[in-house]
């Protein structure tokens, strides 16, 4: 019984680890994109205010 359980663990471990790695990378990418969009929006709002243009809806 112990050999069967060990086989299941060894069979599933690579899939689970790759899935966790993929999740972490995607989370990093999505957070970086969100932060970049916020920074760009702030910069754009500052430029519009500096030029006296109406804010973007």
DSSP 39: H
Residue 27 has pLDDT above 70, yes or no: yes
What sign does the CA torsion over 21, 24, 30, 31 have? negative
Q: What pLDDT does residue 1 have?
A: 67
Q: What pLDDT does residue 13 have?
A: 95
How far apart CA 16 and CA 5 sit, in angstroms, is 16
How far apart CA 7 and CA 26 sit, in angstroms, is 30
């Amino acid at each position: 019984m112990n050999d069967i359980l060990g086989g299941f663990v060894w069979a599933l471990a690579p899939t689970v680890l790759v899935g966790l790695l993929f999740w972490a990378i995607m989370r990093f990418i999505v957070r970086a994109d969100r932060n970049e969009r916020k920074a760009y929006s702030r910069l754009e709002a500052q430029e519009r205010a500096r030029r006296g243009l109406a804010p973007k809806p």
